[in-house]
Chain A
Amino acid sequence: DGGITQSPKYLFRKEGQNVTLSCEQNLNHDAMYWYRQDPGQGLRLIYYSQIVNDFQKGDIAEGYSVSREKKESFPLTVTSAQKNPTAFYLCASSLGGTTGELFFGEGSRLTVL
């Protein structure tokens, strides 16, 4: 079945460690996104990529990094520079265009101990 797969579902990290969240899609979508969700908050855009080997910062990119070497994959690294990394992270993809119709993965919950 086509869809977006995020892994791991749950992740624990010690302070000062970098961690990479995986996002893979088999929908043949051009655009991919990473959002952060905190309790009671909407979704805030971290990074997005409209095409392979290109990506742009979103509203809260500080302390995060991404790569887009393949169309199917858009991993997110949460670095030690991110001051408050505990959150629910959502990956999404879209066909392209500018309609806002996103397909989301099931999310990854990161907890910093």
Chain B
Amino acid sequence: GQQLNQSPQSMFIQEGEDVSMNCTSSSIFNTWLWYKQDPGEGPVLLIALYKAGELTSNGRLTAQFGITRKDSFLNISASIPSDVGIYFCAGHYGGSQGNLIFGKGTKLSVKP
């Protein structure tokens, strides 16, 4: 079946640092999406990308839809404590509404 490889699995951030994570697949997707999940809550959509090469920003967040349609990255600039949580990439390959695949997530924590 289709799979998404999301990396890194976890990372520690210090306030003010930039953060980068990515998602790759051997399959082509029509839409790439990035969600954030706070502890004990449901994920919230951050950014949706619909076109290969598309670069989209949402405040301090920037995401890109890879040219090959097989990858996407998310950057967070000047991180703040409330950025901690789990970030999921997701790819939709069209057709049925059930054709949405999630990565395993990148967990952001604050450096001790």
Chain A interfacial positions (CB closer than 8 Å to B): 4, 31, 33, 40-45, 48, 50, 56, 58-59, 90, 92, 94, 96-107, 109
Contact = CB atoms under 8 A, between A and B. Distances in A.
Nearest to B48: A101
Interface of B: 1, 4, 6, 9, 30-31, 33, 40-45, 48, 50, 88, 90-92, 94-105
B36 to A, nearest CB: 11
The 7 tightest CB contacts between A and B, nearest first, are A104-B42, A100-B92, A42-B102, A43-B102, A100-B100, A42-B104, A48-B98
B50 A98 contact: no
A70 B10 CA distance: 40
B52 to A, nearest CB: 15
A99 B48 contact: yes
A4 B45 CA distance: 14
Given A42-B6, A94-B97, A98-B94, 16 more contacts: A31-B97, A42-B101, A42-B102, A44-B102, A48-B98, A56-B96, A90-B43, A96-B97, A98-B92, A99-B92, A100-B31, A100-B33, A100-B91, A101-B33, A104-B44, A109-B40
Contacts of B105: 40, 42
A93 to B, nearest CB: 10
A6 B17 CA distance: 36
A106 B45 contact: no
Contacts of B48: 99-101
B31 A106 contact: no
A99 B50 contact: yes
B95 A106 contact: no
Contacts of A40: 9, 104-105
